[in-house]
Amino acid sequence: MAAVVAGILAGLLAWPGAGSAQILTDPTQTLTNTLTSSTTQTLTGQASAVTAVVLGTVTSLADTGTLVDAADPLGTGQPTGSIPGLLSAEALHAVTMGWTDQVASEASLGNLAMSVAGIGIAAEAIMSRALAVSGAVPTGLTNIDGLTIGGVSVSPPDIPNQQLSIAGLSVILNEQIQSANGIIVNALHIRTLDGLTDVVIGSARAGI
Amino acid sequence: MRRTIYMLVAAQLVLAGALTAGSADAHFVPVPCDFITGGGWVIGDSGQFVNFGAHGGCKNGQFWGHVNVLDHGTNPPGHLRSTSITGYLMDPAFPNARDICGTGIVDVNGSSFNVTFRVRMEDNGEPGGSDRFGVRLSNGYELSTRELGPPGPTGGGGNIQLHKPNPSTTGPSPAPTEAQMCAGLSTP
């Protein structure tokens, strides 16, 4: 299996189209936040360490919920988390914060171990960040340390949206979905080709 | 003149000592207050993985945040989970660092008990290898502050980010003393 996966990985990588799936809410679904009596900003922000859709059932681990107010930053965390039969992880953490001129969101976890369609995926640490600054192009950043897929070490690229096709799986590393007013950053996005399993590890959304 | 120079040198040494000795007055709540966030892992003194995810700051007149730390020095790993945040401090000697203090629960070797903790997080730029993390607990556990790396010498990975204040970032007024915020724990 390792050799097969290695061969597929060596053959890598198609660039994803614009139709990449989104787990978090569409960034165009914005909330209006009155910051002062004279200034109205529209903020979007959310982060989650894990969001999985398996056979139509959605499970989230360490999910901040939706940012609604610049004066109400949201954060959550848990020492360990698991979705039976799918994955386990440690030190799950998510936070989203707004300002009058920007939104920043961040999600991270450690010691990821998961199995999707019989393929083992592991990572020592994963982090995603999204930053939307008023008047500027939103930006994303991911850290993926110690990633292995099918027992083969994978070095994530510096560039976003690297897609791997592996024996029934679609894997996107550093997925960044830009919209008119924001960005969704998914550190690791794994889907089975039959569409029955869709997992995002480290998701951060920011828009203004 | 020589006496004046000696006095100036002595004053500088006293000041330097105050900044580096971790005295009770060396750390304070930043004004305006801000936020620090991050996650990753470092290598512990025994070569084990220590994973963490944490954020802290001030929010609407209170301290705010959450801390999780897992140390693989035991099997299963021991972990700290924060239950309240009681302090958020900066250290003028390390302006990119913030300390988060609070209470928490430790689960290790089948036991569960309450602790107070003090975590140091330091943002030294991107991509995060030079950022630093450490934690001290009231039961005597200490992970001295160290780089996440690479390229740091201790290995590990992840990223820490120091954020600017936002409209919510007011802490308690008046601010508690460092000893009150951190239950007498010094910086790890």
* pLDDT, tens digit (0-9, with 9 covering 90-100), for B131-144: 999 999 999 999 99
A75 and B38: CB-CB below 8 Å? no
Do residues B56 and B115 make contact, with C-beta atoms less than 8 angstroms apart?
A: no
Matching residue, tokens 């020095």 = B73
Percent of the residues in chain B that have a pLDDT greater than 70, as a whole number: 84
Q: How far is CA B40 from CA A28, A29, A42, A147, B31, in A?
A: 31, 31, 31, 14, 27
Dihedral (C-alpha) B135, B138, B140, B142: value to the nearest 10 degrees? 0
Question: What is the pLDDT, as a whole number, of residue B14?
Answer: 37
Kindly identify which residue of chain B lies nearest to residue A77, measuring between CA atoms. B66
Q: How far is B120 from chain A (nearest CA, A)?
A: 16
Task: Count interface pairs A-B at CB distance under 8 A.
Answer: 133
Question: Kind and range of the H or E element at A39?
Answer: none
More confident position, B94 or B23: B94
On the question of pLDDT at B176 being above 70, the answer is yes
Phi, psi of B180 (to 5 degrees): -70, -40
Flag residues of chain A having pLDDT under 70: 1-41
The sheet with strand B111-122 has its strands ordered as: B142-147, B132-137, B111-122, B94-108, B78-91, B62-71, B49-59, B35-43, B157-163
Neighbours of A163 (CB within 10 A): 17
Taking the C-alpha atoms of residue A73 and residue B86, their distance in angstroms, rounded to an integer, is: 17
Say what the ipTM of the complex is: 0.83
Contact A70 B167 (CB under 8 A): yes
The average confidence (pLDDT) of chain B is 86
For residue B41, pLDDT beyond 60: yes
Question: Given this model, what pLDDT does residue A40 score?
Answer: 57
Number of residues written out for chain A: 208
Predicted TM-score (pTM) of the model is 0.83
Residue bearing tokens 């070490």: A153
* DSSP type of residue A70: T
The share of chain B scoring above pLDDT 90, in percent, equals 74
Residue pair A51/A201 in contact (Cβ under 8 Å)? The answer is no
